């Protein structure tokens, strides 16, 4: 009995299990286990999941264990409580012993009964940024007799920019590693975060696209399987079975209300773990009502935009907007920009001009009344109802409306930030390397285009010059050519911008997915580039702190070369002791302006004040 309970305690619940009546009666006296732990599935037949989805996961994991597949990561995404981690753990217990014992390098069967290794950032004792990479470094040796499935269910805090960068870097290293590695399974629970938890659309949507990024999701060695919420029929059957097993815990009044209560739970968001907990809480609570507030389901971004534009067949416009607002979906700038991007697709893009103007006026009113303090948040509801009314009055031809697209606003902002950062780097290079300091206006108007074009041409001439000098034998000719083309030799392709600052001019097209707008990672990239540029400049002795005093140095050299044409008496006086000492130490020079000395005639060397003035 104790062994059975400890085994059950290892599994994270995704659905309940069907057990014998005797087993249930034994466990019914144990009040320490919650129902979702007490009825955790012990076999795959007990998991509340579609058979086709279970087959897909089984084939993918088994091919990774056997080595038939080149996939390194199996990504399972979906809402909470849809049996993702439960399926992984049960499949690991079923498949890993088969391939662990059949390893050709094993001399004896393994006695290790741990068939999956789960990541826990709080057990490593290191910082969250280092714990995940250290976990993967240790898990890479789970091969042969120690073969195990590497399970990652608790994702590190990817809302922190530096943590997200290191998390993705660790996954990319795992994907690109040439050595043989055990299967890595990531169970990602996707959701919409409540308003105020993030400052951008990227931070308000916890989905695979924003957590992992396009580079990882598009990698050929990653396989993604999407899980759906538990459907109504599976949810109802599981809840009825648990209620039957715990019949003695229900009062007569609640047992009479049980069918209606289970129906309410089954029509919820499809989270079976939450539904079982709600059933248990309602059973032991003193509330006799059969209606409770279930966990609100999150609505996909494009699904929410479609509800406003196209409405719903199953409910009225009033109910549609109410349900959208009840889900705590963020009615922010990004959401309204999504409406602006997709409303023209209504009715196969045959939208009257009058209706288009009404939608544009409503969105313009929102921009005028929108305040950062959120004092007019109630006006968001007015905007949604006005837009829904505009489309409801149109005679719509039912059919395909085309794929929804994410607003291009974030791409525009990303391009603006890129141009701003590149122009700052360009100005720094101009100052430290060439001694110039152009204004941002000058860079934006002219230098951003012409300077890279000119330096790209000079870089080509530099390559030609190197080829010529490598074949030349006359040292004088080499020295002469080098001095004549010194401005071309200074060009460095690793430091100077040889392409237009901000990238090429091109149109911005919409995308049918979230635009990965990550200013924190962009800042890290820019900082890394700047450090590399400064390192190269220091190495080439082109970055000289004396350049900061360049203007003072130029003034001194120009003063030395500039002859004194005119001076006044006030500028030169005998009060300067240092100047007087220098002049007195100089040897006497014959004055060519004086007449030659006559023998026997003494010249008076003293000069009067009038003579000095004439001189």
Q: Are residues 65 and 174 in the same domain?
A: yes
User: How many CA atoms, within 13 angstroms, populate the side-chain half-sphere of residue 573?
Assistant: 4
The tally of CA atoms less than 13 A away on the side-chain side of residue 322 is 5
Distance CA(387)–CA(63), nearest Å, equals 50
The Cα 563–Cα 19 span in angstroms is 107
Q: Which residue has the tokens 């009546």?
A: 21
Mapped onto helix, strand or coil, the DSSP state of residue 523 is helix
> Is residue 362 domain-shared with residue 455, that is, in the same domain?
no
User: For the ranges 16-20, 98-102, 204-208, which has the lowest average pLDDT?
Assistant: 16-20
* pLDDT single digits (tens) 461-513: 988 888 888 888 888 888 888 888 888 888 888 888 999 998 888 887 766 55
> Among 539, 559, 586, which residue terminates a domain?
539
Residues 441 and 458 in one domain: yes
Per the domain annotation, does 572 fall within a domain? no
Distance from CA of residue 196 to its chain's centroid? 18
Give residue-wise pLDDT tens across range 217-260.
889 999 999 998 888 888 888 898 898 888 888 888 888 888 88
Q: What pTM was estimated for this model as a whole?
A: 0.56
Shared domain for 257 and 332, answered yes or no, is no
Predicted local distance difference test score (pLDDT) of residue 470: 84
CA distances from 321 to 324, 366, 380, 427, 592 (A): 5, 17, 11, 51, 105
- How many domains is the chain built from? 4
Please report which confidence band the pLDDT of residue 372 belongs to, taking 50, 70 and 90 as the band edges: low
| pLDDT score of 59 more than 80 | yes
**Count of C-beta atoms within a 10 Å radius of residue 166:** 19
The residue segments making up the domain with residue 70 are 51-102+111-226
Distance from C-alpha of 337 to C-alpha of 410, rounded to nearest angstrom: 10
546 inside domain: no
3-state secondary structure at position 449: helix
Where in 18-96 does DSSP place strands (E)?
A: 73-78
**Cα dihedral sign for 597, 603, 607, 608?**
negative
Statement to judge: residues 276 and 335 lie in one domain: no
Looking at every residue in the chain, the average pLDDT score rounds to: 74
Instruction: Please tell me the predicted confidence (pLDDT) of residue 171.
Output: 92
Give the three-class secondary structure for 513. coil
Euclidean distance between CA atoms 318 and 593, whole angstroms: 109
Q: Confidence class of residue 64 from pLDDT cuts 50, 70 and 90?
A: very high
Q: What is the pLDDT of residue 24?
A: 44
- Establish if 580 belongs to a structural domain: no
Degrees to nearest 5, angle at CA 223 with 221 and 225: 175
Same domain flag for 484 and 415: yes
Domain boundary among 483, 511, 539: 539
The token duo for 608 is: 């009067």
The pLDDT value given to residue 122: 64
181, 244: one domain: no
H or E element, residue 453? helix 448-471
594 falls within a domain? no
The per-residue pLDDT for 151 is 93
- Considering the domain architecture, whether residues 192 and 132 belong to the same structural domain is answered as yes
Assess contact for 505 and 481: CB atoms under 8 A: no
Q: Which of 347, 373, 405 is the last residue of a domain?
A: 405
Identify the weakest region by mean pLDDT among 119-123, 159-163, 390-394. Answer: 119-123
Query: Which position has the higher pLDDT, 265 or 295?
Result: 265
Q: Are residues 311 and 398 in the same domain?
A: yes
**Average pLDDT of the residues in 72-87:** 90
Identify whether 381 is part of a domain: yes
pLDDT tens-digit readout, 282-293: 888 876 655 444
């Amino acid at each position: 009995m104790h062994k059975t309970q400890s085994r059950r305690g290892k599994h994270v619940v995704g659905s309940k299990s069907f057990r014998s009546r005797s087993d249930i009666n034994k466990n019914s006296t144990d009040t320490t286990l919650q129902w979702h732990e007490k009825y955790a599935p012990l076999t795959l037949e007990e998991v509340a999941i579609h058979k086709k989805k279970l087959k897909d996961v089984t084939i993918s994991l088994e091919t990774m264990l056997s080595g038939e597949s080149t996939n390194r990561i199996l990504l399972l995404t979906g809402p909470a409580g849809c049996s993702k981690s439960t399926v992984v753990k049960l499949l690991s217990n079923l498949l890993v012993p088969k391939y662990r014992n059949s390893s050709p390098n094993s001399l004896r069967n393994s006695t290790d009964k741990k068939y999956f290794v789960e990541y826990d950032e709080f057990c490593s004792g290191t910082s969250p940024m280092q714990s995940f990479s250290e976990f993967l470094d240790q898990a890479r040796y789970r091969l042969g007799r120690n073969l195990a499935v590497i399970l990652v269910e608790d994702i590190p805090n990817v809302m922190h920019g530096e943590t997200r960068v290191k998390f993705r870097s660790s996954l990319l290293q795992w994907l690109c590693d040439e050595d043989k590695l055990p299967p890595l399974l990531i169970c990602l629970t996707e959701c919409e975060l409540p308003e105020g938890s993030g400052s951008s659309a990227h931070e308000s949507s916890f989905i695979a696209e924003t957590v992992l990024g396009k580079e990882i999701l598009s990698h050929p060695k990653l396989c993604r399987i999407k899980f759906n919420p538990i459907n109504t029929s599976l949810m109802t059957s599981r809840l009825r079975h648990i209620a039957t097993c715990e019949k003695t815990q229900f009062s007569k009044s609640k047992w009479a209300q049980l069918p209606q209560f289970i129906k309410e739970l089954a029509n919820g968001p499809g989270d079976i773990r939450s539904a079982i907990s709600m059933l248990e809480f309602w059973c032991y609570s003193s509330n006799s009502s059969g209606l409770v507030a279930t966990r609100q389901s999150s609505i996909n971004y494009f699904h929410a935009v479609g509800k406003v534009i196209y409405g719903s067949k199953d409910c009225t416009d009033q109910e549609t907007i109410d349900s959208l607002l009840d889900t705590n979906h963020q009615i922010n700038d990004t959401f309204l920009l999504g409406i602006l991007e997709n409303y023209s697709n209504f009715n196969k893009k045959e939208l009257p001009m009058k209706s288009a103007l009404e939608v544009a006026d409503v969105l313009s009113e929102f921009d005028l009344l929108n305040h950062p303090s959120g004092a007019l948040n109630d006006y968001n509801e007015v905007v949604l109802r006005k837009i829904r009314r505009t489309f409801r009055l149109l005679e719509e031809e039912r059919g395909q409306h085309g794929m929804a697209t994410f607003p291009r606003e974030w791409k525009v902002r990303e391009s603006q930030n890129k141009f701003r950062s590149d122009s700052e780097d360009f100005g720094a290079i101009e100052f430290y390397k060439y001694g110039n300091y152009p204004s941002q206006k000058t860079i934006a108007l002219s230098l951003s285009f012409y300077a890279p074009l000119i330096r790209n041409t000079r870089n080509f001439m530099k390559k030609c010059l190197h080829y010529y000098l490598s074949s030349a034998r006359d040292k004088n000719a080499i020295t002469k050519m080098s001095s004549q083309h010194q401005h071309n030799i200074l060009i460095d392709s690793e430091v100077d911008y040889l392409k237009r600052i901000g990238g090429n001019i091109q149109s911005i097209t919409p995308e049918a997915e979230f635009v990965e707008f990550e200013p924190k990672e962009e800042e890290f990239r820019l900082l890394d580039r700047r450090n590399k540029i400064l390192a190269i400049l220091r190495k080439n002795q082109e970055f000289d702190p004396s350049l900061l005093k360049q203007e003072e140095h130029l003034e001194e050299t120009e003063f030395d070369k500039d002859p004194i044409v005119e001076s006044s008496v006030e500028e030169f006086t005998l009060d300067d002791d240092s100047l007087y000492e220098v002049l007195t130490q100089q040897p006497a020079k014959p004055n060519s302006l004086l007449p030659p000395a006559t023998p026997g005639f003494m010249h008076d060397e003293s000069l009067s004040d009038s003579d000095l003035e004439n001189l």
